[in-house]
Structure 1
């Protein structure tokens, strides 16, 4: 019996992710990132709801991040299949996923910078908590930035460790995104592609964005 599970974009508009279980294969349909308030989105995105090692292959409808943004999380932890999409979408992901990785890194760095600023503020306001010298406060402030508009990544990490502060880590990195691209295969519209045992997909132009597609998935009955 064929079953479909909904793990995002059901009752909400981001985080598109569905699972087609044919009884033989598990086919992931989209792997989108939840977007919205930072804390809530982070918790949802970190909680990958499916055992990635059990997914046979993935079909991607288009390149928007709320449909593709968790692909690096899929590929770096247990997934060994292929990501099937259209050729234009594959090309777009070369830019979209790397840009998303950069955003994840930048966001984590900014939050860690804010954490250190809050630590300094508390130290300045309190005579008993976070007791550090004025010289140390000045040193920390000088180390936080390499220029007026550029944060010092190495110094911020070292200062967090030195003062026992919790670090925010990126959801994934640009390197993770780059590695995920090797899992993606692009196909022409209208071509029939095998995505599982007796299961195929054929892409039709959707017109949403360049490369977006309606995915016609055909599951052949086990008895033929």
Structure 2
């Protein structure tokens, strides 16, 4: 068995690792590169392997940076089974159809501006491509060990990152590989803690926050309440860029928990996402995967998805109407890094007001508008026009859906014999810090994955 690293190997997005074992070729994730325009252009590049020669695809979870190129992989010839945890399998088409719809709209908009002689802009893939790819899904429950190909077995364990997120165990050629996928922090609301794995011959572990520790979640929740109080006093709006899966549901969970403390009944609350209602439905069908506290909240008098002043807006017309609200609105909209989606329209209408509070609740990758705003940019270019930034900015690190340095070290510490470790899904600064800490504590040499690197198990 050996592993070839082709994505998220020196960057956070674009997860893609090829396992060759038992005479078979198994791809772990097929994610989209996100961030700068240059990164996103790379999504159309040829795959560094022949898609037709792949025997299976195994998906860790349904975030676009882990699944976003799957329809393209199928379009270019991959015809094998796609394995994913059951709840993740329900989220996957929701996410990909939204991605395809955006790509089609962007292409249509660009083609309207073509000059004579310009080449037509073609979307990376279409909704028909997504529908074709989804016929190859083979969902699996957590905890079931299954032979997916002759001589190759896998099992999914709960990674605690988003609904259906998985740690993948893979057995072949007498060896065991463990791929963490994205790991959630212990104690995160709604989801259970990541499962501990005891044995492996090689571990691939994410390292998004390998160089830092998050604030205590309770401190973060207190800060969020203070932001709402200040914004209400200033008669402003609160804008929260957040991904439709994971962070949006957690925010609504905290809204339900602190409904009275934060006086949320006086606000207009918008979850502005065309896929939000579909995602909410998937969550409601899988409350058995929630932790004990969340199950009690959902049984209580305020279902987070049924708050009395919550409006989930699906149509473009309803979304545009939100911008007529000059104050007293909490607007949660994608994308989480403000590099696309409906949040851009709300930013255009609100960034110039000093009463606006812009709240970042997740990781902001290099090259994204979200990262530039977090770093203090005074102007924001949106849809070809520059907008002055007068809004107050808040970075709420304690709501991250990723484990921090302590959490990553604790999870790896669950392996009994300190197996060889490769860090993926992180920028070099974060990976180097985490590699140093683990190497010093456990005496293990930690490798940093690089594109094209090949490693035997």
Match of 1:97 in 2: 96
Alignment map for 1:99-114 (pairs within 5 Å) = 99-113=98-112
For residues 91 and 172 of structure 2, the distance between their equivalents in structure 1, rounded to whole angstroms, comes to 28
Match of 1:43 in 2: 42
Query: What per-residue deviation string (whole Å, max 9, x for no partner) do you get for residues 62-107 of structure 1?
Result: 0000000111011122212100110001100121111111011112
Q: Which stretches of structure 1, 4 residues or longer, exceed 6 Å deviation after superposition?
A: none
**1:88 maps onto 2:71 in alignment:** no
Task: State the Cα distance separating 1:10 from its structure 2 match.
Answer: 0.6
Query: What per-residue deviation string (whole Å, max 9, x for no partner) do you get for residues 153-197 of structure 1?
Result: xxxxxxxxxx33211100001110111100111011011122222
In the alignment, which of 132, 142, 152 is matched to residue 179 of structure 1? Answer: 132
Query: What per-residue deviation string (whole Å, max 9, x for no partner) do you get for residues 95-150 of structure 1?
Result: 1111111011112122223x33xx4xxxxxxxxxxxxxxxxxxxxxxxxxxxxxxx
**1:197 maps onto 2:196 in alignment:** no
The answer to whether the 8 Å contact 2:22/2:173 transfers is no
TM-score by length of 1: 0.74
**1:165 maps onto 2:118 in alignment:** yes
* Structure with more of its chain in helix, by fraction: 1
For residues 164 and 193 of structure 1, the distance between their equivalents in structure 2, rounded to whole angstroms, comes to 53
Where 1:21 maps in the other structure, the secondary structure is strand
For residues 118 and 166 of structure 2, the distance between their equivalents in structure 1, rounded to whole angstroms, comes to 46
For residues 193 and 181 of structure 1, the distance between their equivalents in structure 2, rounded to whole angstroms, comes to 20
- Structure 2's unaligned 5+ residue stretches are 176-457
Match of 1:56 in 2: 55
Task: State the Cα distance separating 1:23 from its structure 2 match.
Answer: 4.9
Match of 1:208 in 2: 161
For residues 153 and 48 of structure 2, the distance between their equivalents in structure 1, rounded to whole angstroms, comes to 24
The count of corresponding residues between Structure 1 and Structure 2 is: 175
Match of 1:138 in 2: none
Match of 1:11 in 2: 10
The answer to whether the 8 Å contact 1:33/1:45 transfers is no
Match of 2:77 in 1: 78
For residues 27 and 166 of structure 1, the distance between their equivalents in structure 2, rounded to whole angstroms, comes to 36
The answer to whether the 8 Å contact 1:30/1:60 transfers is yes
For residues 102 and 7 of structure 1, the distance between their equivalents in structure 2, rounded to whole angstroms, comes to 26
For residues 188 and 34 of structure 1, the distance between their equivalents in structure 2, rounded to whole angstroms, comes to 28
Task: State the Cα distance separating 1:58 from its structure 2 match.
Answer: 0.8
TM-score by length of 2: 0.37
The answer to whether the 8 Å contact 2:43/2:69 transfers is no
The answer to whether the 8 Å contact 1:206/1:212 transfers is yes
Where 1:109 maps in the other structure, the secondary structure is helix
